[in-house]
Amino acid sequence: MKKLSILAASLTSALMFSQVQDAMSYQAIIRNSSNQLVSNQTVGMRFSILKGSTAGTVVYSETQSQSTNMNGLVTAKIGAGTLVSGSYSTINWGADIYFIKMETDPNGANNYTITGVSQLLSVPYALYAKTSGSSVPGPQGATGAQGIQGITGPTGAVGAQGLVGVTGATGAQGIQGIQGATGAAGVQGIQGITGAQGIQGITGPTGPIGAQGVIGATGVTGAQGIQGVTGATGITGAGFSNGTTGGQLILTNSSVPFSPGTPVNMSGDATINASGTLTIGTNKITTTKIADASVTVAKIATTAGTAGSSTYLRGDGTWATPSSSGGTQLLTGTNTVTMPGASTPNSFTITVNGAAIGDAVIVNPLGNIPTGDFPPIYIAKVTSANTITVYMYDAGSIAGLSFSFKATVIK
């Protein structure tokens, strides 16, 4: 949190040519969270005149942007900024006590992180004389409280030497001056004399063993040794067990060390013979073992006719051409989809079994669209076997809603 150091808050009415100006002079010193001056930088300020108390009604508010000097000092004229609310010239200074609230953004914007409130004492009430309605001076008011120490003004010219006066009493201690800038680094000192040689240190512990050295070159092969005596014949080891018939398999046992087991016959949906031929048993391939949509036309046994886009397979295994008696076949399918946003093109599909590329197709919405609403704009066509693609150009009044569509294919 940055803070505001008020070196001097001079709230004085400015007089010129016997007329009171609608402005008060205000000065403050801005420091950051490290107690460093905010120097030569634009700061944002908001002034508010509060009536009656530190939390009283805001009768006037304005904003200003001013620059600090090299000492962090900022000067402003309250009453000459950008108006936020109220009227400075119509404040009735004699009607109540008033407080001034200052909010500051050291970064020059309007993110005010520094706030201070203080009471306006007798000095600003020179403004009251502007509207007092009388030129007769009033009675002398009580002496106000001691104001904050002002900043030191520039040194005047040296006057002529006066007579030596009586030594006055010692004045009060002045306030602490602003921290001066850090001086430049001094010149490098002269190199000191080299000290005497220290005594020999204690021998350190033995270091770790070094890495293994490179293996040397292989030596020359020695002469052939004398032939050793032939050893005794070892006992016969365990081998694979013989099977009981041809076409058996040797499988490993189910427990560690998974050694070869006794040969077994292959059983179940398939068998294997001694030549390695695998045979699938009769009636072993059932409907549950065939994946949906995995059987192609080429795998279907037929008795007559030719498969094509204009023929169909009859129950007796014959590929036949539809009768030309004028009958029409209608195939339908539905789908419920969430409509895209308005004016957002999109597409979705509807499955119609038996549909083929080139078939005529009609797609209608199944829900009601209120009279006066904007209906969806789309076209549809068969893009592959059993699939109708609906191209939605604009969902209209049902944009973003869940809606059902029905596709009708005419065969």
pLDDT over 70 for what percent of the chain? 85
Q: Is the pTM of this model over 0.75?
A: no
Domain edge (last residue) among 100, 116, 131: 131
- 185-187-190 Cα angle (round to 5): 140
Q: How confident is the model at residue 2 (pLDDT cuts 50, 70, 90)?
A: very low
pLDDT at 13: 34
pLDDT of residue 120 exceeding 50, the answer is yes
Q: Which of 8-17, 47-56, 163-172, 401-410 has the lowest mean pLDDT?
A: 8-17
Residues 296-321: tens digit of each pLDDT: 777 777 877 888 877 877 767 788 77
The stretch 208-221 carries a mean pLDDT of: 84
CATH code of the domain containing 363: 2.60.40
How far is the C-alpha of 13 from the C-alpha of 93, rounded, in Å? 12
- Contact indicator for 322, 372 with CB cutoff of 8 Å: no
188 found inside a domain: no
157 found inside a domain: no
How far is the C-alpha of 60 from the C-alpha of 47, rounded, in Å? 8
End-to-end C-alpha distance for the chain, whole angstroms: 80
Domain count, the chain: 2
92 found inside a domain: yes
155 found inside a domain: no
Domain edge (last residue) among 97, 112, 131: 131
- Contact indicator for 247, 264 with CB cutoff of 8 Å: no
103 found inside a domain: yes
The stretch 384-402 carries a mean pLDDT of: 91
How far is the C-alpha of 154 from the C-alpha of 120, rounded, in Å? 27
Q: Which residues does 279 contact at the CB level (< 8 Å), separation at least 6?
A: 270, 271, 272, 273
165 found inside a domain: no
pLDDT at 114: 83
Q: How confident is the model at residue 350 (pLDDT cuts 50, 70, 90)?
A: very high
- CB count, 10 Å around CB of 43? 24
Biggest alpha carbon–alpha carbon distance for the chain? 147
Domain edge (last residue) among 131, 157, 182: 131
289 found inside a domain: no
110 found inside a domain: yes
Residues 62-97: tens digit of each pLDDT: 999 999 999 999 999 999 999 999 999 889 888 899
State whether the Cα torsion 167-171-173-174 is positive or negative: negative
Range of the domain at 67: 3-131
